[in-house]
Chains A and B, each alone.
Chain A
Amino acid sequence: MNTLTIWWDGAADGPTNMAADECLAAEAERRGSLVLRFYGWSDTTISLGGFQKIGDARQVEAIRGVPLVRRPSGGGAIVHGSDLTYAAAVPKSHPWGASPQVFYDALHGAMVEVLAELGIRAWPHPAGGSTPVSSPKRAPAVTVDRPLHDEAQFFCFDRRASGDLVMAGPAEGTSSKIMGSAQRRLASVVLQHGSLLLRRNTTVGNPACHPAVADLVVGLEVPDEAVLSLAWGRRIARGLGAMLREEDGPFLRGMESEVAAQASRFREEWWTARR
């Protein structure tokens, strides 16, 4: 039977988290099945998409002085620290590994169902959709599937791609993006990173601070990360027809030296400032 294995890791710095995720990709390849890791951040950290320019990051006053790490995956910059961060990896030979959209849609669709059970209505941004975003100051009123890579779309949560999860925005007729994911497609395995904005991150100012689920629901308590991630894992496993296997300890346990060696790359300037 298919198996979905899940690990819960504590908080770590950006380079350690990125290195652990690369090791997670190797683990998916070794096991030949989907694996999923949830983790925290020891400090508020900006993760930069694999192709984003370091010069763009350094021009954003609101994130000056905040630790920055470059992801191996694509997409826009994310402010971590008040979000639910995950990494999932699946072999390309797996039904969810063949094309980028299938994996996005499978994981995001499961989250829509979990949120619905909690009374929170979210939906995937449609292909070619153009719902006005919640803050006209934050991004252009017309959203597009293709990232513009201009200043207005430096942050992941200012971009819209098909399958991103959105909720009704504070103003009538608007929507706010609450979940986005991005992939690194390696020779035989796919690593997908993603973030669900649970609470507004008040350690950064605009334009880095985005409305979160807690800002957009009225009269509902946003569940903690552990409850949400377990419910999500169960939904994903159900969608896959897989057995859910929760590991007792963190993914990092027993892999400290391997992860530390891998993390050195993510600490180095040549990697962080490579574009």
Chain B
Amino acid sequence: MAADLKFAKTHEWVRPESGGVVTVGISSYAVEALTDLVFMQLPAVGRKVKAGESFGEIESVKAVSDLYAPISGEIVEVNSALPGKLETLGKDPYGEGWVARIKPDNPAEMDGLLDRTSYDALVGSQPH
């Protein structure tokens, strides 16, 4: 897992890219917890989202989970191939399994997200 990732408590990851956009995805912990993914709905390109706002949905066997925007901004790109091959989320959640790219309204919001060590501590404390 790349060290430059930041995480939301709702298990989305964020990676800064060149050009001032960030890539967003779902952590391997969340993907493993959901198991057997069957459907996914991506946000529309051009949509403005607020941090913490639901911007997509994913269905595993009998559970629908919201995907929450980890940072405020505009959706500038989505991984439109992902809903057709959801197994990518399990195989490569931090690479080919990316979900969307966001142009942040305020890049400083990244500072409020968890670094890898803090995120690992969070998921390590989750009940099993």
Contact = CB atoms under 8 A, between A and B. Distances in A.
Interface of A: 49-51, 72-75, 92-95, 97-101, 104, 145-147, 149, 161-162, 180-187
A275 B63 CA distance: 16
B127 A50 contact: no
B34 interface: yes
Contacts of A186: 66
Interface of B: 10, 33-36, 38-39, 41, 52, 57, 59-66, 68, 126-128
A146 B61 contact: yes
Complex A-B, nearest 6 residue pairs according to Cβ-Cβ distance, in ascending order: A183-B63, A185-B65, A74-B64, A95-B127, A50-B64, A182-B62
B121 to A, nearest CB: 14
Contacts of A184: 63-66
A52 B38 CA distance: 11
A149 B127 contact: no
Nearest to B68: A187
Given A95-B127, A97-B127, A185 B63 contact: yes
A149 B33 contact: no
B38 A187 contact: no
Contacts of B68: 187
Contacts of B127: 93-95, 97-98
Greatest chain A CB density within 10 A among B59, B62, B66 is at: B62
Given A73-B64, A185-B64, A149 B38 contact: yes
Given A98-B128, A187-B10, A187-B68, A74 B36 contact: no
27 contacts: A51-B39, A51-B41, A51-B57, A51-B59, A72-B64, A73-B63, A74-B60, A75-B62, A92-B126, A93-B126, A93-B127, A98-B33, A98-B126, A99-B33, A100-B35, A100-B61, A100-B62, A100-B63, A146-B61, A161-B61, A161-B62, A162-B61, A180-B62, A182-B62, A182-B64, A185-B34, A187-B68
A74 B52 contact: no
Contact of A100 (B10, B34, B38, B57): B34
Contacts of B36: 145-146
A51 B33 contact: no
Greatest chain A CB density within 10 A among B38, B63, B128 is at: B63
A183 B64 contact: yes
Contacts of B33: 98-100
A145 B35 CA distance: 11
A104 B60 CA distance: 14
A145 B37 CA distance: 12
A104 B33 CA distance: 14
Contacts of B126: 92-93, 98
A181 B64 CA distance: 12
Nearest to A50: B64
Nearest to B34: A100
Contacts of B34: 100, 185
A273 B101 CA distance: 28
Given A98-B128, A149-B39, 9 more contacts: A51-B39, A97-B127, A100-B35, A101-B35, A149-B38, A162-B61, A182-B62, A185-B64, A185-B65
Contact of B38 (A93, A99, A147, A162): A147
A181 B39 contact: no
A161 B63 CA distance: 11
A97 B128 CA distance: 9
Contacts of B61: 74, 100, 145-147, 161-162
Contacts of A99: 33, 128
Given A98-B126, A99-B33, A100-B34, A74 B59 contact: yes
Nearest to A182: B62
